């Protein structure tokens, strides 16, 4: 198929390892309780997986271990791996004494699980009219000293990048994973899709430049659209896809037509724009499990128990909102009980953008079932044969026919005396599909042609995450992800000395962007409705980090004619490239 194309772009793109750099470092506290069980309080995203891993490591039954999560200060995938838990758990199990282990920032930088370094080689073929016909992708992934997330992350570099283009007649994706004597790589927001999208989107922008087509036009011509079958995405169909509307809105927001490709500012600086699309998933289809328990308390309020881990993502709030919506009450009436292997129903944890989509559906189902039980109890108390015609407004149940009504507080009080119906419901959800959210990012930069320095002036992002459940929290997610993506694109990377020591062992060396480095961030949403999601929602947690690298690379090309194919895109690389150009 590539041989039949008028133009073929073929390049290798190199994405170096990057640190999650969450504000709270790794930490775990352990003690033995009254019943001789090991209690582990940890800053973790995965209480049930942590219990399983500790059970294997210590050679003791899972029933002897309790893992719980307090409030935690960021994770981004770093805490999806058991980094700190095993050592204090071993000490407490052997000595019976409490123990704790708190990583310094240096330890978090040198003994953690950063993003997988990947080399992505792409061959992309298109016709003169801009029709993209074939993509051939090969990824070489460096998993470090151990295979932690080794075989899984690499798959997303192809599965979450190739399907963005619905015009393909042929595609191929292959990969290899290698061990090396560096830190073991792990999960980091974007989880492989970030690396693949950098390569695919950069190649598409280069193809547009070669063909003399606007990079937005080539995307509009070839992008996946709603209702389209996606053979490269596990054979799923895009039942909810507003990608075309995202492109249109972002183009309007940034004023693309007036600014593309670049403007000379007359002082050695140029201003240019760049674009990228992205997609991700919503949980791991056929694998991830989300559960929720909702209980009516004796005061007419509710307790929601979940094992999804809120690490600053806001899932405690969002899941409580869903419960409040179903039960027609205020969010203040829902008390959330966080992740604890003794009290929370099984949940595989907060990763793979699964909390809102997978666990949210379990919350929705549990609340609907509890509502049914409340209506049945009300019918019994009001001596009405059937609950079918009863109405519940969150505070009381009423019967339109007889005019009878009874308050929720009375129902909950009656549940404590001569009652055979439990007012506690647990529901579990696993989805056979993983509907992808879509996103478009466009950036305006100012580039100094003498030094190669880049200033981010404006970044617009338009996201299709289905129905945004909480637009404020969703917006904060997008802004945070863009900040991380901009850092990865311009400043961040993990380097080693010849002896294998990490060079960037503090925030003095590992440059995370501050608020002034990311420019103006503007975020909007284009809603689609995902039929399999709670209230039509899809995920948003990971996709938001994927557009900055290829968008900034495109903007650099539009300003200088240089393609930088290795991250980060430093001023040195640009300055040296411009000198070679001369």
Average pLDDT per consecutive 10 residues, the chain (582 residues; last block may be shorter): 97 97 97 97 97 98 97 94 96 98 97 97 98 98 94 96 97 98 96 98 98 98 97 96 98 98 95 98 96 96 96 94 97 96 94 94 97 95 91 95 94 90 96 98 97 97 97 96 98 92 94 94 97 97 98 98 98 96 86
Q: Could you give the strand order of the β-sheet that contains 454-464, starting from the edge strand earlier in sequence? A: 262-264, 269-279, 438-448, 454-464, 520-525
What is the rounded CA–CA span in Å between residue 39 and residue 343?
13
Residue in 129, 132, 46 with CA at minimum distance from that of residue 85: 46
What is the rounded CA–CA span in Å between residue 378 and residue 167?
56
Distances (CA, A) of 501 to 7, 359, 509: 43, 40, 13
Distances (CA, A) of 195 to 7, 132, 565: 24, 21, 11
E strand segments, 377-472: 391-392, 396-398, 405-407, 424-429, 438-448, 454-464
Predicted local distance difference test score (pLDDT) of residue 148:
87
Q: Is 186 helix (H, G, I), strand (E, B) or coil?
A: coil
The token duo for 502 is: 């990490």
Q: β-pairing, 27-32 with 132-144?
A: unpaired
Residue in 66, 58, 56, 71 with CA at minimum distance from that of residue 33: 66
Distances (CA, A) of 301 to 54, 298, 328, 397, 474: 36, 7, 12, 15, 27
SS in 3 state form for 312-372?
CCCHHHHHHHHHHHHHCCCHHHEEEECCECCCCCCCCCCCCCCHHHHHHHHHHHHHHHHHH
Q: β-pairing, 520-525 with 454-464?
A: parallel
Residue in 216, 243, 217, 215 with CA at minimum distance from that of residue 228: 243
Predicted local distance difference test score (pLDDT) of residue 499:
86
The token duo for 321 is: 């909102």
What is the rounded CA–CA span in Å between residue 129 and residue 211?
8
What is the rounded CA–CA span in Å between residue 114 and residue 145?
12
Q: Could you give the strand order of the β-sheet that contains 65-68, starting from the edge strand earlier in sequence? A: 65-68, 38-42, 27-32, 99-102
Long-range contacts of 253-257 (CB under 8 A, 24+ apart): 253/442, 253/460, 253/462, 253/522, 253/524, 254/442, 254/443, 254/444, 254/458, 254/460, 256/216, 256/442
Distances (CA, A) of 469 to 312, 335, 370, 476, 483: 16, 18, 22, 13, 22
Predicted local distance difference test score (pLDDT) of residue 262:
97
For tokens 């409705």, the residue is 529
The token duo for 95 is: 């000595």
Reported as a single tens digit per residue, the pLDDT across 552-564 is 999 999 999 999 9
The token duo for 7 is: 């133009």
Contacts of 183 (CB under 8 A, 6+ apart): 17, 110, 111, 112, 113, 114, 144, 145, 494, 502
429 class by beta-carbon count within 10 Å (0-12 exposed, 13-18 middle, 19+ buried): buried
Distances (CA, A) of 480 to 253, 313, 442, 541: 20, 10, 16, 10
Predicted local distance difference test score (pLDDT) of residue 421:
87
What is the rounded CA–CA span in Å between residue 149 and residue 160?
17
Q: Rounded to two decimals, what is the model's pTM?
A: 0.96
Reported as a single tens digit per residue, the pLDDT across 382-401 is 999 888 999 999 999 999 98
Angle, helix 571-581 to helix 548-560, in steps of 10 degrees? 30
Predicted local distance difference test score (pLDDT) of residue 118:
98
What is the rounded CA–CA span in Å between residue 76 and residue 78?
6
| DSSP assigned state of 120 | E
* Helices (H), ranges, 96-192: 105-110, 150-159
């Amino acid at each position: 198929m590539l041989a039949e194309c008028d133009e073929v772009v073929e390049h290798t793109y190199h994405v170096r390892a990057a640190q999650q750099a969450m504000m709270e470092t790794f930490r775990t506290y352990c003690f033995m309780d009254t019943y001789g069980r090991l209690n582990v309080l940890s800053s973790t995203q995965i209480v049930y997986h942590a219990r399983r891993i500790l059970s294997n490591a210590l050679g003791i039954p899972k029933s002897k271990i309790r893992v719980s999560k307090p409030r935690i200060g960021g994770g981004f995938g770093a805490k999806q791996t058991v980094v700190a838990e095993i050592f204090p758990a071993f000490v407490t199990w052997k000595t019976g004494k409490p123990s704790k282990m708190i990583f310094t920032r240096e330890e978090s930088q040198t003994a953690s699980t950063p993003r997988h370094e990947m080399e992505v080689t792409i061959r992309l073929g298109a016709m003169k009219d801009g029709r993209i016909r074939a993509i051939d992708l090969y990824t070489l992934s460096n998993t470090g000293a151990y295979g932690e997330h080794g075989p899984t992350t690499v798959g997303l570099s192809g599965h979450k990048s190739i399907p963005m283009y619905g015009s393909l007649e042929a595609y191929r994706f292959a990969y290899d994973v290698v061990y090396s004597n560096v830190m073991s790589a792990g999960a980091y927001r974007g989880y492989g899709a970030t690396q693949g999208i950098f390569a695919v989107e950069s190649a598409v922008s280069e193809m547009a430049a070669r063909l003399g087509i606007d990079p937005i036009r080539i995307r509009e011509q070839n992008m996946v659209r709603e209702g389209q079958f996606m053979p490269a995405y596990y054979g799923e169909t895009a039942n909810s896809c507003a990608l075309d509307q995202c492109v249109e809105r972002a183009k309007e927001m940034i004023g693309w037509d007036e600014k593309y490709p670049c403007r000379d500012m007359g002082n050695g600086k140029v201003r240019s724009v760049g674009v990228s699309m992205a997609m991700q998933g919503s949980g791991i289809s056929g694998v991830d499990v989300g559960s929720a328990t909702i209980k009516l308390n004796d005061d007419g309020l509710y307790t929601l128990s979940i094992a999804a881990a809120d690490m600053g993502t806001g899932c405690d709030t969002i899941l409580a909102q869903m419960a409040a919506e179903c039960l027609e009450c205020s969010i203040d009436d829902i008390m959330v009980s966080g992740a604890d292997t003794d009290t929370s129903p099984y949940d595989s944890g907060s990763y793979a953008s699964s909390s809102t989509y997978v666990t949210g559906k379990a919350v929705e189902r549990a609340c609907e079932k509890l509502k049914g039980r409340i209506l049945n109890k009300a019918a019994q108390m009001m001596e009405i044969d059937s609950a079918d015609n009863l109405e519940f407004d969150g505070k009381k149940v009423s019967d339109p026919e007889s005019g009878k009504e009874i308050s929720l507080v009375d129902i909950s009080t009656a549940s404590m005396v001569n009652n055979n119906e439990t007012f506690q419901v647990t529901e579990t959800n696993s989805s056979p599909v993983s509907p992808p959210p879509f996103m478009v990012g466009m950036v305006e930069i100012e580039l100094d042609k003498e030094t190669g320095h880049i200033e981010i002036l404006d970044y617009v992002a338009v996201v299709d995450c289905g129905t945004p459940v909480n637009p404020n929290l969703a917006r904060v997610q997008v802004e945070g992800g863009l900040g991380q993506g901009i850092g990865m694109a311009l400043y961040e990377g993990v380097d080693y000395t010849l002896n294998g020591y990490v060079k960037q062992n503090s925030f003095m060396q590992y440059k995370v962007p501050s608020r002034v480095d990311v420019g103006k961030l503007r975020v909007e949403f284009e809603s689609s409705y995902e039929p399999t999601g709670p209230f039509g929602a899809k995920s948003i947690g990971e996709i938001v980090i994927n557009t900055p690298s290829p968008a900034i690379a495109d903007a650099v090309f539009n300003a200088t004619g240089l393609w930088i194919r290795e991250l980060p895109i430093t001023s040195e690389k640009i300055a040296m490239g411009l000198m070679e150009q001369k």
